[in-house]
A and B are shown apart, each in its own frame.
Chain A
C-alpha cells in the first residue's frame, strides 16, 4: 500500500520498539516500558502484538496470525490482512512455514523451530496486578524478587476449589528470577514456554510493556510441593481429526447442550485431516 512506511510504523518507532525488544531479550521476563503508539485498531485487539510484529517483520518474512489457535477468526484475519496490505509480506496458515507468528492466547501445537518468532498479544502484563494494584509497589516487588503474594493467590485457589483453579495466564518463573504472566494462554501451553527454540516476544499495547523469552529459556510454572502444576486439557479426543493430545475447544452445537470437542489449533487439525481425506 503506498503512502505508508513498510509495516505501517515509521522507522523511528520501529527503532524504539527494537531497542525495547533487545532489552527485554537481555533480561528474560522483565517488563520493559515502551512508548506504545495509536494503532488503526482498538486496544484489546492486539495493538501490542501488532507493534512488536511490525518491528520484527522484514520483506522476506512469512507471517501467520492466530486467534485462540484459529487462523480464520476475525482478529486473526484482520491482522493478517493489515500486514498483507501495509508490509506486502507473504502470509501462511502453516506453523512450519511461518517465520513470524502473531498469536492471541495459544501456542501452536506443532513444535516451533530455531529462527521462528512467536509474538503474543498481552492484555495485562503484570502477574501481580490483581493482588497489588499499585504499579510502584509491583515494580518494587519484581525488583526485590518479593513474590510470596503470587503463592497467596494459588493458596486461595486450592482453599476454595480444592486445586489450583487458575486455568489460563498461569504465572511462571523465568530463568529463576522474574515472575511473568505468559498472557492468557491455557495452562496446557505452559510446558511449551520452557526451553522453546523459538524467540517469544510479548507485547502489551494499552499497558505499554514489552517482555520476552530468548530461545531455550527455563520457564517454570509456580506451584506447591503437594499440589504440583498440571497442564489441563478436556478429557476428549478431537471430533474432526481424532487428536488425543491437542488442546480442545468446546462447541455447543444445538439448543439441548450437545457438545463437540475439536482442536483449537486449526492448522494442526487440518494437517491431520488432510492425509486421512486423501486416503479415503
Chain B
C-alpha cells in the first residue's frame, strides 16, 4: 500500500533538506520511493510543495486530491491551501508561523484569521511552533528538522536510524543542534 506525505510551504523555506533526509531514510529501509517537486517561477516567494510517496511499488510521483496520509506544513496559510489533498482521516503537522504574501505586505490584504481552529476542527492536527523551538536551540535553520521529527513520529517511522542518516547527510557543524531539533519535534506527538 503506497503512503503519501505532502510537504508544503513558501518558496525559500527549505522543504528540500527535510524531504531529502526522509527519502534517504525510506530508501534505506527498503521502500520504493518517489518524490516530486516543482521548480521555477513559484520559487520566488510563491506556494511550493514537495510530494513524497513510498511503499512496496510506487507508481505516480504526484499526490492527488484526497490522497495524502499526512500534510506537513511550514506555514499556516499554506496548510489551509493544500487541505483538499488530505485523505479523510489523515493527519496534519503544522508550523505555527506566518509569511504574509506581497498584497498583505502592502496592506492591501490581511492575513486570514482562525485557520488553525478550522483545520483542527476537521482533522487530527498537531501545531508546533517549530520556528520558535529552533530559535530556542540557537539554530533557527533547524526549523525543518523539528518538523521532520514530528513527521517521523506521525508516520510511525521511528525504527529507521535517523541519527545515522543525519550524521551522514547534514553539515557536521549543525549536527548536534539538528539532533536536538529532531527530538523536540518527535516529543510534540504523543
Q: Do A and B bind each other?
A: no
Instruction: List the interface of chain A (C-beta within 8 A of B).
Output: none
